[in-house]
A and B are shown apart, each in its own frame.
Chain A
């Protein structure tokens, strides 16, 4: 028994190692670009909305209200407050993608935290897709549209007949890092948004509510 376990162990380690290294995007099959579908479903516009936000980060839970405001100059402001009104952060995203921290409480004012939130909201707002330069891949019944951003790729994924947007993703060269599920009614006024980090334990769930 002990001998068979010793024999199996290296094999198991190799299998685990290979699985861990397997690329999430290896199965994608490059295909010619489709500007019409990109234009139709790229999440490029987000209407001003208030959300009830629920954030879970490595075992800690936080809730509050999140405002995504579409400004007259096509920039966005993203403001998160707790239910009693205290502002946790106020971020700005310009039309050209520049990022400004207007306000952040000391407890959250750490570079990795701010950068993570910046990337998360840039994807939700569809900022990487404001360009027309993109690549296209097929995988099963899904079509991936990708825009390269430095070392990462921002994807939006549609069904095969370009009828609807399925989800958004941030990916490194091999791995999915962030997945965003959007409720069926979709952009520019999604009812629900669920963002999940794949490399550490973090989730953001947004549920839109109508202002009184």
Chain B
């Protein structure tokens, strides 16, 4: 009898502990009650976004080494599947996605890749477009939980495929409630290192020339 009570108390503590820790990650946030309504609204609002221009700051934290590297640049998106990410400081690096084609330029080289030729590129391309277009909640690449406070939604995305799980433990997308655009993306690696990209000076639906995505 005593040992049964002990087991019940033990499991109660264990479950209470896991319950608390699930919310402790996002202080001030609570789970979204009607996930289907959120999904519908998220897709509808994202549908209205034809283009995004934004500055970004990226922080990579190497936990075990107590090292942090900050980089910054500019981000462009144009519906339906064109993305340009340009790192300016402290190094130069350019990535342009235009349909099935990808251009990568670093200090030395320029590489043009057909996304269709590589499964991982296809997956990364799809995820990026799903995040920006608001269709990530329907993605089979992740299981997603949604939390909210009065200003933001937090989408906690856990990769389902083995290939993605090798790179990411969980991806946390913070979405602004006022315009449903991403405020930040936090990528948590299995070893504990994190990379967070903060979007600043966002401009939605302003004219963006096609030349920005020229390959």
Contact = CB atoms under 8 A, between A and B. Distances in A.
Do they bind each other? yes
Interface in A24-75: 50, 52, 54, 61, 63, 65, 67, 69
B30 to A, nearest CB: 29
Interface stretch (B143-151, B185-193, B202-210): B185-193
A84 B195 contact: yes
B62 A105 contact: no
Given A67-B67, A87-B193, A212-B70, A79 B62 contact: yes
B166 interface: yes
Nearest to A48: B67
A52 B195 contact: no
A65 B65 contact: no
Contacts, number: 73
Nearest to A85: B195
**Interface size range on B against A:** 20 to 34
B189 A209 contact: no
Contact of B107 (A63, A87, A103, A212): A63
B106 interface: yes
Contact of A63 (B70, B106, B187): B106
Contact of B60 (A54, A77, A81, A105): A81
B77 interface: no
Contacts of A103: 191
B191 A54 contact: no
Contacts of B191: 87, 90, 102-103
Interface of B: 58, 60, 62, 64-65, 67, 69-72, 87, 89-91, 93, 106-109, 111, 166-167, 187, 189, 191, 193, 195
Interface of A: 50, 52, 54, 61, 63, 65, 67, 69, 77, 79, 81, 83-87, 90, 102-103, 105-106, 205, 207, 209-212
